[in-house]
Amino acid sequence: MQLYPLPALAAASLLWLGQPALAALHTKTVDYRIGDDTFSGYLAFDDSSDQPRPGILVVHEWWGHNEFARQQAERLAAEGYTAFALDMYGEGKLAEHPKDAMAFAKAAKADPERLRQRFQAAMAVLKNHHTVAADQIAAQGYCFGGSVVLDMARQGVELAGVVSIHGALTSAVPAQPGKVKARVQVYTGGADQLVPASQVAGLVEEMQTAGVDLTITSFPGVQHSFSNPDADQVGERFDLPLGYDESAAQRTWDGTLAFYRQLFER
């Protein structure tokens, strides 16, 4: 089907008849500081309503704050959320080779307290935006970011929920009973060589022991990084066990949105 623009008079008539105007997407880069370090995030929201809405933090893969993370923020904004794709590395760090990505991720996670400070600094940016209901914040992360949002839940950060998408599931600081405030969703690939079945089983035991509301979806035969359309190309380039899966990616997106609707009663 081809769509043609309405003449001005016809468009005005639709508005007069009470038809809703199309929402406009607003995006901007937001720089913020933690001590002497500078971080750069990406904020996305639409103008469909002037009422405060839930805010979603998006945590990038181990490559760093890249276009994929920004695209996820835009997708969430199109669903009526205000999303902030944060930066866990700072100083414009963006890896092009797995060795650099591994080094960046390892350095960021070396100090759990510093990791939490970086996350909460970005969380404060999101909470303070005029479109956001500050008591309705969730977070989703991919790969490295998936492990980050799980760790934030483990540390008791005030989040309504977290969604880990093909992220590592182990932690040096496991969840403790009564500490985790967030509901947790996990999406993982059944053939993910970087997140084996032992990690999935370990997370279930950890979260069950801690009394956490946990839902895990495992996709049979699906590899690591299944939600990123560039996974096949990157896997081939660096000989990594990665693979995009359109069905798993769509089911993850649909499940994540359903999770947020339930969390925030939308």
Residue 4 lies in a domain: no
Amino acid 21: pLDDT: 53
Residue 135 lies in a domain: yes
Query: How far apart are the C-alpha atoms of 222 and 103, rounded to whole Å?
Result: 26
Domain count across the chain: 1
Amino acid 172: pLDDT: 87
Amino acid 15: pLDDT: 35
Amino acid 193: pLDDT: 97
The pLDDT tens digits for 134-174 are 999 999 999 999 999 999 999 999 999 999 999 999 998 89
> Per DSSP, what are the bridge partners of residue 45?
26
Residue 1 lies in a domain: no
Q: In CATH, what number is assigned to the domain containing residue 189? A: 3.40.50.1820
Residue 7 lies in a domain: no
Residue 32 lies in a domain: yes
Residues of the chain with pLDDT > 90, as a percent, come to 87
Amino acid 23: pLDDT: 77
Residue 3 lies in a domain: no
Confidence of residue 238 (pLDDT cuts 50, 70, 90): very high
Residue 166 lies in a domain: yes
What is the separation, in whole angstroms, between the first and last Cα of the chain?
A: 31
Residues of the chain with pLDDT > 70, as a percent, come to 92
Amino acid 50: pLDDT: 87
What's the mean per-residue pLDDT of the chain?
Answer: 92
Structural domain harbouring 95: 23-264
Confidence of residue 112 (pLDDT cuts 50, 70, 90): very high
The pLDDT tens digits for 21-50 are 567 999 999 999 999 999 999 999 999 888
Amino acid 68: pLDDT: 98
Residue 141 lies in a domain: yes
